[in-house]
Amino acid sequence: MKVIRKIIEIDEGLCNGCGQCADACSEGAIRIIDGKARLVAEKYCDGLGVCIGECPAGAIKILEREADEFDAEAVEDYLKMQGTSQESSKTNMQTGGPSTLNRGSRSSGKDKESEKGKVQTGPASSYLTNWPVQIRLVPAAAPFLKDAHLLVAADCTTLAAEDFHRDFLKGKAVMIGCPKFDDPAPYINKFTDIFKHDGIRKVTALVMEVPCCQGLPMIIKKGMELAGKDIPLIQIVISTKGKVISRKKV
Amino acid sequence: MRCPGQDTRYWKPGDIFEAPCPTCGNILEFFKDEPARSCKNCGHRVINPRMDFGCASYCKFAEQCIGELPPDLLAQRQELFKNRVAIEMKQYFHKDFKRIGHAAKVSRYAEQIALKEKADMAVVLTAAYLHDVGIKEAERKYKSAEAAYQEELGPPIAEAIMERLGAPAKLIKEVCDIIGHHHHPRPDETLNFKALYDADMLVNIEESRGNYLSNKESLEALIDKKFLTETGKKLAREVLLK
């Protein structure tokens, strides 16, 4: 039923596709499609404009126009449908923007449709479920770290591993950094803060066989120490040819 | 904590911009919050052409920060206040989309009625967004969404929300009073109450159509009897009897 009511309008010219509005919308009424925010359906938008405050580009406005009535039941069905696909869904990075944060916090089934028809075999599919991934950028209280099995991967391992996604990333939240070039002190602080949050179940440190990589497990261990936590830590070393050389508890 | 309006981390593109000096044409770089800058070329003191105190329209400390507010900013402030009440309401109800939808719809009708009846829009809309906030507490405390429980438990929650948004005490008092008896009109009601009451009544009838009289005459009689404003009656006839 069409009624005259308030509803959002997105100016595609101004939209930079950052996805913050989509994260803010609890109905999941906005999705990033082809790099622009789009209203999925009129009936999912209550017109209250929570998304507006999140838009850094000023691209969202509230209009009063003829539109489908907001439909709470349809929203619930829609979210439920997305929820069931959550288990297998992997966030499609193409649909997000550069500043999209904490993807784990939103219903990660959102991009399901854009993956339809894609054959998900081996290296072609991404198991990345969180963003950001840089150790420096991940907030200590990031929702995706809650109850997570955390993979801390040295930068080079992501290239060296035969199938990083399938063999190491699947089922984990990931953070990456380089123990050779990056400053260890801020990393130790970051891990201390993260471990203090009571979220992480288990940590896997993935490093290269080269000596300069050996600092990474130490940094993680130091973080646990300072946080007063003893979380199981597994260290996996891979060769420059991408083979697993060793796998041990630290 | 630093004032977010002054904190450049929250600035948007375009908040730092270039403008020519009106005397010599030399290009100067301005930050949105600096009142004036001296031209390096000719020394002329150039007033910032796009000074933006945007944050003052929503900040509860704006008056302390920049003194008495100009009328256009005050108007913008009221508009923003309404939007923020809506957002707070939504956060409060979280994933309860039925209640969010109900509040949104009541506000829509309340706005139409308040406009025609010349009621106080700020009071009516704030009350419309917040009128049912007692419901969650009522369900928790009394295991019932009964109107009387909502009316008892709603005002303190609404008060906390409005205070957080820096609403004036007078508005808080009136809105809380309305919420505190929003299903039970007193013999001599204010226009603001009536606007909210009619809007809520209309949405309630709409939402439970099946339970209400399907018979057109009795529905018409109900509208005449229950609704308190002429605009409310007219709107109800349009919505329910068309």
Tens of pLDDT, residue by residue over B90-104, are 989 988 999 999 999
Q: Under an 8 A CB cutoff, do A48 and B90 touch?
A: yes
Give the CA angle between residues A99, B94, B81 to the nearest 5°.
75
Q: What pLDDT is attached to residue B182?
A: 95
Displacement of CA B198 from its chain's centroid (Å): 18
- Average the pLDDT over A65-75 and give the result: 93
Q: Under an 8 A CB cutoff, do B104 and A73 touch?
A: no
- Residue B222 tokens, joined: 């109900």
Tens of pLDDT, residue by residue over A2-39, are 899 999 999 988 898 888 898 889 999 999 888 889 99
C-alpha span between A103 and A97 (Å, rounded)? 11
Contacts of A75 in chain B (CB under 8 A): 97
Q: Under an 8 A CB cutoff, do B87 and A75 touch?
A: no
Task: Write the residue in A46, A53, A56 that is nearest to B104 by C-beta.
Answer: A46
Give me the residue label for tokens 């017109």.
A47
Is residue A12 within 8 A of residue A60, CB to CB? The reply is: no
Q: What pLDDT is attached to residue A68?
A: 94
Write the burial class of residue A201 (CB in 10 Å: 0-12 exposed, 13-18 middle, 19+ buried).
Answer: exposed
Give me the residue label for tokens 């993680």.
A220
Confidence of residue A90 (pLDDT cuts 50, 70, 90): very low
Suggest the residue from B97, B109, B209 to mutate for an interface test with chain A (most A CBs closer than 10 A): B97
Work out whether strand A202-208 and strand A60-68 pair parallel, antiparallel, or are unpaired.
Answer: unpaired
Q: Which of B86, B171, B63, B46 is nearest to B120 (CA)?
A: B171
C-alpha span between B33 and B52 (Å, rounded)? 6
- Average the pLDDT over A146-172 and give the result: 92
Tens of pLDDT, residue by residue over A100-136, are 344 443 334 434 434 444 444 444 578 888 888 999 8
Contacts of B94 in chain A (CB under 8 A): 26
Cβ atoms within 10 Å of A159's Cβ, excluding its own: 10
C-alpha span between A203 and A207 (Å, rounded)? 13
B154 contact partners, CB below 8 Å, separation of at least 6: B130, B131, B132, B133, B134, B135, B137, B179, B180, B182
Nearest C-alpha in B relative to A57 = B12
**Ordered structural domains, chain A, with CATH:** 2-84 (3.30.70.20), 124-249 (3.40.50)
| B13 at interface of A, judged by CB pairs closer than 8 A | yes
Write the burial class of residue B241 (CB in 10 Å: 0-12 exposed, 13-18 middle, 19+ buried).
Answer: exposed
| Chain B nearest CA to A53, separation (Å) | 9
Give the CA angle between residues A180, A104, A40 to the nearest 5°.
130
Nearest C-alpha in B relative to A54 = B10
Tens of pLDDT, residue by residue over A212-237, are 888 999 999 999 999 999 999 999 99
User: Quick one: what percent of chain B has pLDDT higher than 90?
Assistant: 46
Cβ atoms within 10 Å of A178's Cβ, excluding its own: 15
- What proportions of chain B, in percent to the nearest 5, are helix, strand and coil? 60, 5, 35
What are the Cα distances from residue A237, in Å, to A162, A191, A225, A233, B197?
13, 20, 22, 13, 69
Confidence of residue A169 (pLDDT cuts 50, 70, 90): very high
Q: What pLDDT is attached to residue B6?
A: 65
A216 contact partners, CB below 8 Å, separation of at least 6: A152, A154, A177, A179, A205, A207
Is residue A31 within 8 A of residue A37, CB to CB? The reply is: yes
Is residue A141 within 8 A of residue A220, CB to CB? The reply is: no
**Ordered structural domains, chain B, with CATH:** 18-66 (no CATH), 71-241 (1.10.3210.10)
Q: Under an 8 A CB cutoff, do A49 and B98 touch?
A: no
- Residue A101 tokens, joined: 């944060």
| Chain B nearest CA to A212, separation (Å) | 35
Task: Write the residue in A26, A47, A75 that is nearest to B104 by C-beta.
Answer: A47
Suggest the residue from B58, B79, B100 to mutate for an interface test with chain A (most A CBs closer than 10 A): B100
Q: Under an 8 A CB cutoff, do B105 and A27 touch?
A: no
Torsion region of A195: left, alpha or beta (phi above 0 gives left; psi -120 to 50 gives alpha): alpha
Beta bridge partners of A150: A173, A203
Kindly report the average pLDDT of chain B as a whole number: 86
Contact pairs from chain A to chain B, CB under 8 Å:
45
Q: Which of A89, A84, A99 is nearest to A21 (CA)?
A: A99
Please report, to the nearest 10 degrees, the dihedral formed by the alpha carbons of residues A132, A137, A143, A145 taken in order.
90
In the chain, the amino acid numbered A179 is P
A120 contact partners, CB below 8 Å, separation of at least 6: none
Task: Write the residue in A49, A57, A79 that is nearest to B86 by C-beta.
Answer: A49
Residues of chain A contacting B, Cβ within 8 Å? 5-6, 26-27, 46-50, 52-53, 56-58, 70-73, 75-76, 79
Tens of pLDDT, residue by residue over B1-21, are 456 666 677 777 788 888 888
Beta bridge partners of A242: none
B122 contact partners, CB below 8 Å, separation of at least 6: B78, B81, B82, B171
Give me the residue label for tokens 């596709």.
A17
Peptide bond into A132 cis (omega under 30): yes
Contacts of B97 in chain A (CB under 8 A): 27, 46, 72, 75-76
Q: Which of B240, B152, B174 is nearest to B201 (CA)?
A: B240
Cβ atoms within 10 Å of A95's Cβ, excluding its own: 19
